[in-house]
Amino acid sequence: MAADYTGLLDELRALRKGRGVFSAEITQRIGPTLRELCRIQPDDQAPEIREKLLRHLSDVAASLPADLRVAASAAVALHPAARHRFLTGRITWLAQRIGRDERTVRRRMDDGIAQLAEVAARCLSAPPPPPDNDQSDFHVEQFSAVLILDRGAPEALERRTIVAERDDLDQIVVALSLPTVSAAENRDRDLAAEVLYGGTLLRRRRPVGSRFEFVLTLPRPLRAGERHEYGMRYRIPEGQAMREHYVYTSPRRCGLFDLRVRFGLVDQPLRIWRVEEVFHRDLDEEAPTGDILLPDKAGELRVVFRDLLPGFGYGVQWTMP
């Protein structure tokens, strides 16, 4: 890992020069360690190299603290608002954004790049995680979720208690699909994720347009039969539309799913219904398949499911006026 860290640190520092990831000489500006991290092939041309750098470095940066994430992203021109021609322009931009002098900003960028290299080195040295549909690793004893829809951007707080099915379980993959409202918007969809407790976000992956995967390293390896709880927070960016359902489909057995949805008192749905034991394609029908639900006086509702069948969906769906 030390060699990976040193190589990544040197290459990321070099990438800060000029336009960063948007350098016209990007093919010559990146070294072997960044190429390995971002899965850049020998025959990849500048557009493919740039796209892979943007995607993989953004995924790694997502696990950094907010201040270091912005600093590191600005340093190499990952940040959409910091794509100036020279590094000095990006330093000035960040200084104005955080209200600090440029010397402080340079130090913060150095810290951000160092942390980015450290997390990226862990990604390179970590063994590949087990596929998230490997039911032999663990099962979900209890899954509790709160979906908040009345505070601007939709936000979900999720808590899971898992039980290890084998010894030395030290990594898990948390997967989530964010279906598009229209096919045209698929490429630009995003999802912010944060580990609240119970693990460390090692990397974020996006195998297909609507699917997001988050690789978590557990605080310590679990023994077979041992329980562990972790919490996640997900947020859809402001202005990005959300499909009118929240449905949990697990490849593993799950003992209990407890879901609360807060619609609020303004702009409530025209109709809300319970979704239980459905195929994901059935959600596209947008017609009630279960009991009609009514929010309480706080604009909230709760549904509970027990002994969920793997591969089937459970949750809540609604239609807006």
- Model pLDDT for residues 168-212, shown as the tens digit of each residue: 999 999 988 877 665 445 445 688 899 999 999 988 887 656 788
Task: Write down the residue that tokens 């990544």 correspond to.
Answer: 8
Separation CA 216–CA 170 (nearest Å): 8
Displacement of CA 150 from its chain's centroid (Å): 22
Assign 319 to helix, strand or coil. strand
> What integer pLDDT is reported at residue 146 of this predicted model?
97
Domains and CATH numbers, the chain: 2-125 (no CATH), 138-319 (2.60.40)
pLDDT for res 186: 46
Query: Is residue 200 within a helix (H) or strand (E), and if so which, with residue range?
Result: strand 200-208
What average pLDDT does the segment 89-108 reach? 92
227 against 239, higher pLDDT: 227
Distance CA 71, CA 81 (A): 12
pLDDT (tens digit per residue) in 237-249: 887 888 899 999 8
Q: pLDDT at position 135, please? A: 53
**Averaged over 210-235, what is the pLDDT?**
93
- Position 274 confidence tier, pLDDT thresholds 50, 70, 90: very high
pTM: 0.60
Assess whether pLDDT exceeds 80 at residue 125. no
Read off the pLDDT of each residue in 60-80 and give the average, rounded to a whole number: 86
* Span 284-304, pLDDT tens digits: 666 676 789 999 999 999 999
Q: Quote the tokens at residue 241.
A: 């539309």
* CA 193 to chain CA mean position, Å: 4
